[in-house]
Structures are given as structure tokens and as C-alpha cells.
Amino acid sequence: MRVTCDLLNPLQERIALHAAVPVAPLWSRRLQWTCRGRSLDCQVVFAEPMALPEPEPSEPVEGALARLGKILHGTGALLLLRNPAQAFGLERMPFADGVRLLGIGSEADEACWDAALTLARPVYGVRGLISCEVLRPHPASVLSALAYGVYVCEEGLTLSELHEDRRGVRWTCARDDAVAAVVIRDGYEAASLPGAQGQWRDLGSEGYVRVVVRAGTDACWTQPRFVAPSGAPPSPPTPPSPAAPPA
């Protein structure tokens, strides 16, 4: 069942989950702290209300995240860093421990995401509308999908198919003007694939693969798949499947 939500709405403490049937909400608390003069904007997402600490202005942002991570350990709650570029920046992303979700609001935030992924950190991007497929429409199921990156971020564009396995990924949308960017290690754009359908076969050297499908001003962002190294010689990527002709 498809469930959607808006994680980044700063006014929500209850995050409404939208599905074909009624679903109880997730809970959220936004923490906007100043840590040694640096802004830290983070958000805790959880299935049930829980007590959270107060800020300590004397500690660095790394220490604040470590303290939050220690409190959240074993609770199932997720830590979302809403301002990675401002709080850490590209060079300091290795110190963003305990973060599972990153808010992607700018190219600088996206670069920080790719820096973390290049270090093989299992962190997942958040922007636009979160959409996931779950077996049971329940807050815990959505929380699990967020924790393991089993969702996409929709900005006006929905994928009608997204299939990922150990060999690669393929996708379909309803827009013939779509162009998909395949992003790999260090944020390098390995391919630009036009058409309503496309696929990428892993070479084994990517480190990770994520896809951004754009059509006009709309977009849909997939989450990274970490790619195991392969001893096989590289081969060219599979070209996208031809788009179906318009009706």
C-alpha cells in the first residue's frame, strides 16, 4: 500500500500519513540549537512521544548529535539533520554520526549527502513528499521504510515503477520528457538517460547508485543502493528502454 507524508513541515509534531485507509500519525520534534555559534537544525521522528534533551550551547554540533544518538539508540527513533551544509559542510560530514536522514534543500546539502554516501554511511535524503510502499499501513512500517531507505522523494513526479535488485535499477514514469540522472560515488553523474523508462546495470565500481528523474520542473529522487565491488571488467551502461508512444 502506498503511504505518503511530509517530513519537513516544520509546524507538525504529528506527521500525518496519507493512504487509502486511515493510518495513525508518526511523531516528530524539531530541535533548533546553537552549538558554539553554529546552527544545528535537526528533527527526531518516532512512532510514539518520547522525552528529548535540552540544548547545551557550549558543546559542538558533533557532540550534540552524539548526545542525541546515545539517547535515541535502541528506541527505533530516527534522527533527521535538516541543514547538513550549514551545520557541518562538505569537509566535516564524516563527523555527522548518528544521522539517518538528511534534509536536501540545496545543491550544497546534496553535496554533503554524496560525501556521506561516499564514506558508505547509510543516510537517506529527504525532500518534497515522502512516498513508500508498505505491507501494513502502520506508523512502524513507515518508520522502518525511512530507516532503510525504502522510499522515494516526490516533487510533483511519481514513478509508476521502481525495481531495484543486486544487479541494478529500472524505473518508469508517465512523462515522455523525463530525463534521469544516475549519480554515483562522489556525486558524479555517470549517465543522463532520457525517456519515460530507463535502467542502469551496475558496473561494480560505483560505490552507490541513486537516480534523480526530472520532467520539466518536477522531479522524483530515489534513495542510494550501495554497490558491492565486482572483479568483472566494466561494461557500458544499458541504454534506457524506449518510451511508449503516446496514446
The two most distant CA atoms of the chain are separated, in Å, by 63
- Give the pLDDT confidence score for residue 232 in this predicted structure: 47
pLDDT computed for residue 49 by the predictor: 81
Predicted local confidence at residue 238, as pLDDT: 43
Domain 156-226 -> CATH class: mainly beta
Rounded CA-CA distance 239/198 in Å is: 7
Whole-number CA gyration radius for the chain: 19
46, 12, 24: which is closest to 138 by C-alpha?
Answer: 24
Report the 3 state secondary structure along 147-216: HCCCCEEEEECCEEEEEECCCEEEEEECCCCCEEEEEEHHHEEEEEEECCEEEEECCCCCCEEEEEEEEC
Q: Where are the domains of the chain?
A: 2-133+136-147, 156-226
Ranges under pLDDT 50 in the chain = 232-247
Taking Cα atoms as reference points, which of 141, 169, 150 lies closest to residue 223?
A: 150
